[in-house]
Amino acid sequence: MRERENMTHLGSQGTTYESDYNPGLLESFENRYPDRDYFVKFNCPEFTSLCPITGQPDFANIVIAYVPDRRMVESKSLKLYLFSYRNHGDFHEDCVNRIMDDLIALMSPRYIEVWGRFMPRGGISIDPYCNYGKPGTEWEQVAKKRLTEHDMHPDAVDNR
């Protein structure tokens, strides 16, 4: 059985759901396979934040995919962290970039990408995408390539 290290959320019987942005909720654990490249992907279909101007709610599916190095994000802490955006006012692009920056600070992954697929408001949906490859590694070039090819085949119009 894997040690709990410094994880406080996993297995807690008294989970508190903070509703104001708090990166301190994120927790990590040691990657048991640091010599192997592999993707970890999270699909978060219930992300909610607020428009910083109007205060209206914004809803999105946030997809986070990363190639870990030495540390990995603990999934319950990620869920609580994403929930902490509930009453946080920020533009869609800022939310996606901040999520990526906080995860980079937490785990220093080899590669990470975050894609926000926001529900339309005012007839327009915004789908910001950002990524990062660790400088000086092959993942830096992978990030550049994935960014340029990210939306080469856009989805058909949907009724998100």
- Alpha helices by DSSP H, listed for the chain, are 75-83, 92-107, 138-149
pLDDT at site 17: 74
The residue ranges of every structural domain in the chain are 23-149
78-125 pLDDT per residue, tens: 999 999 999 999 999 999 999 999 999 999 999 999 999 999 988 899
Rounded to whole angstroms, the Cα distance separating 83 from 101 reads: 17
Residue with tokens 């406080």: 8
One CATH from 3.40.50.1820, 1.10.150.120, 3.30.1130.10, 3.40.50.10310 for 23-149 = 3.30.1130.10
Spot the catalytic one: 58, 95, 102, 130.
58
Closest-CA residue to 74 (of 124, 21, 29):
29
Specify whether 95 is catalytic.
no
Single pTM value for the model: 0.88
Residue among 20, 37, 44, 51 flagged as catalytic: 51
Q: pLDDT tens-digit profile of 15-72?
A: 777 778 999 999 999 999 999 999 999 999 999 999 999 999 999 999 999 999 999 9
pLDDT in tens, 128-139: 999 999 999 999
Helix (H) or strand (E) holding 49: strand 40-50
Contact partners, residue 85, CB within 8 Å, separation at least 6: 21, 47, 48, 49, 95
Residue 44 annotated in active site: no
